[in-house]
Amino acid sequence: MRTPLVAGNWKMHGNRAANRVLLEAVVRETETLGGVECVVCVPFPYLGEVAGQLAKTRLVWGAQNLSEHSHGAFTGEVSATMLAEFNCRYVIVGHSERRQHYGETDAVVAAKYAAVLAQGMKPILCVGETLVQRDAGQTEQVVARQLQVVLDLSGKKSLENAVLAYEPVWAIGSGRTATPEQAQAVHAFLRARVLRETCILYGGSVKPENAAALFAMQDVDGGLIGGASLVAGDFIAIARAAQHKG
């Protein structure tokens, strides 16, 4: 039995005052929202403050990135131990924006995934194809490779403590969502390569209007939500759609 999960990725948005207001509204609703785990992945500078605000609430927080190194002369980087010290629960790794803009290779993503696990946190591993790759019929090949490099390093059993997110690059922040059938096809392909209990999220322009149809798909266990996670009402509506999954 997989518990549905909805994770917000705030990306590089927010400020202390706005975060507080947003989280107050989300916490108010999530306190009584059963059957779905809700997570917010916030920018590094706000981690401590968010951890304080969310203590003793049902809303869980995570980070959006980390260093693959444990410590040392890596100016500007943040380690897994630093995140764990704040009781961080989830860390996004392999987001396409990091692969695209910061040159993160599959090997670096695999090392980050291992670093998260080593500190007892859960990686949210993102995989997904570009539009060029989809049009060339390479979707399965691309996501299989991205996943396999991680499993080669950490083993399939590691997925007991991890979440997978299928995020077609062409659907992220574009307003263009994969159809439920397109998402399900890739999720089913991934399902065959992970554990039955592995939670597989869909990410890419999920909104209150399309969430229920996506989450109704058999192998879509929730969502990784970018833009819509910045609007409390939208994020909650999406969480409710996941709650009613099945």
Alpha helices in 55-105 (DSSP H): 80-85, 96-101
Selected range binding ligand PEP among 21-29, 180-188, 203-211, 213-221, rule: CB under 6 A: 203-211
Distances from the Cα of 191 to the Cα of 17, 140, 168, 196, angstroms: 40, 12, 16, 7
68: annotated active-site residue:
no
H or E stretch including 234?
Answer: helix 232-243
Selected range binding ligand PEP among 50-58, 102-110, 150-158, 218-226, rule: CB under 6 A: 218-226
37: annotated active-site residue:
no
Decide if residue 183 touches ligand PEP (CB under 6 A): no
Task: Please give the structure tokens belonging to residue 130.
Answer: 């570009």
CB of 102 to ligand PEP, least distance (A): 14
Give me the count of residues in the chain. Answer: 246
CB of 134 to ligand PEP, least distance (A): 16
Quote the radius of gyration of the chain (alpha carbons, Å).
Answer: 17
Decide if residue 155 touches ligand PEP (CB under 6 A): no
CB of 96 to ligand PEP, least distance (A): 8
Contact positions with ligand PEP (CB under 6 A) in 4-63 = 9, 11
Which residue in 122, 169, 227, 241 binds ligand PEP (CB under 6 A)?
227
185 Cα distance to chain centroid? 19
105: exposed, middle or buried (C-beta count within 10 Å: 0-12, 13-18, 19+)? Answer: exposed
Helix axes 208-215, 232-243, angle to 10 degrees: 20
Q: Which residues partner with 90 through β-bridges?
A: 62, 122
CB of 17 to ligand PEP, least distance (A): 22
Which residue in 40, 93, 114, 225 binds ligand PEP (CB under 6 A)?
225
For ligand PEP, the binding residues (CB under 6 A) are 9, 11, 167, 172-173, 203-206, 224-228
Catalytic residue positions, numbered? 95, 167
